[in-house]
Structure 1
Amino acid sequence: MELNGVPLHPLVVHAAVVFVPLAALGALVLALVPRWRWAVRTPTLVLAVVAALSAQLAAFSGEDFMHRLSAHTELVDTHQMWGDRLVIAMWVLAALTAAGWWLLPFTSPLPGRPERASRVPVLVLPMVLGLPVVAIAVLGLVVLTGDAGARSAWGGQ
């Protein structure tokens, strides 16, 4: 896959490098800062979906890039392994963010906007505990994937 003769993978990776950490940080705020939940819930959901799509596109374009260059080395394999794990974790984060958008209670400071209680109160605590765990895992995976990618591109130097 190319865009004007430039391999798509190095271009798409930059989207994932920006959107994945932003989505993870947004998910942390959504879960852990109830005061801001009303303001961050929709932007975080949009970011999570865009981040998952950009990570998926980076994985697809990376596979194509690897085959075109015949660059099947241990460093590339490590990068691909972490990237595959990141894609899965990012889709899990997107799904949990969607569930949190629908499930978590919030209070809007805007006049005339009432408080919204949780739709399933028994799931609030698991969501508030689980969403940060997945978000932190995603942050770790994006670092590991990026580090392995940089090492494969620059020869470990």
Structure 2
Amino acid sequence: MPEFIGGLPLHPLIVHFVVVLLPLAVAGSILTAVWPWFRQRFGWLTVGAAAVGTILSPVATNSGTKLEARIGSNPGIERHAELGDLMVWWALALFVAVSAVMVLHTMAERRAAETTDEEPADGGGGVATQTRKATGQTVAMIVAMVATVGLAVGTGIHVYRVGDAGARLVWDFVEKNPPANSGG
């Protein structure tokens, strides 16, 4: 993986993808969990955003480690790196949770389509089995929805914490170094 692209360090370029995709995945995950209309139309797109954000998180971390090796370290960089190292786990957990919601949603849709197409031939003997299966899937869906909302909130907060720590490093550097042309 290159360390620079077009003369710019890879880290800030990749970070911008993560900073856009993961908040979109956070918002989409919450909407997917709580709003059936959104889930039907954009749920799998949300899973895709979460997947790409998860894949790019370690790329951002790795490029940050390379950048740190070039510029040196300080307590702010170390804190940003520690937070960044945790980002992939938040992103992965969100991806798994919203994927579970969508898999359960798809299974429920298929089950509903099958039950409307086929009526039990024995005069209703299959109803108890279908009810148990539906109840189990309903409980699993509720658990997945609650987990998705909780992980989405946690991921959003963590994205903010990592980004805030990185932005403070950049702007502290800018504030401490006057413009080369004396501001004019």
Task: Name the TM-score, length of structure 2 as normaliser.
Answer: 0.74
Letter in 1 for 2:99: A
Q: Match of 2:48?
A: 46
Larger radius of gyration: 2
2-structure distance, mates of 1:149, 1:103: 37
2-structure distance, mates of 1:97, 1:13: 22
| Structure 2 portions without partners, runs of 5+ | 116-132, 176-184
2-structure distance, mates of 1:81, 1:104: 36
| Structure 1 portions without partners, runs of 5+ | 108-112
Q: Match of 2:78?
A: 77
Contact 1:29 1:40 survives alignment (8 Å)? no
Q: Match of 1:23?
A: 25
Task: Name the TM-score, length of structure 1 as normaliser.
Answer: 0.86
Q: CA deviation at 1:68?
A: 1.6
2-structure distance, mates of 1:94, 1:36: 17
Q: CA deviation at 1:147?
A: 0.6
CA offsets, 1:90-132, max 9 Å, x none? Answer: 011111122111013677xxxxx95999783331111111100
Letter in 2 for 1:6: L
Identity in percent? 28
2-structure distance, mates of 1:100, 1:43: 13
Q: Number of residue pairs matched?
A: 151
Counting only pairs closer than 5 Å after superposition, residues 73-112 of structure 1 correspond to structure 2 as 73-104=74-105
Q: CA deviation at 1:4?
A: 2.6
CA RMSD for the aligned pairs? 2.4
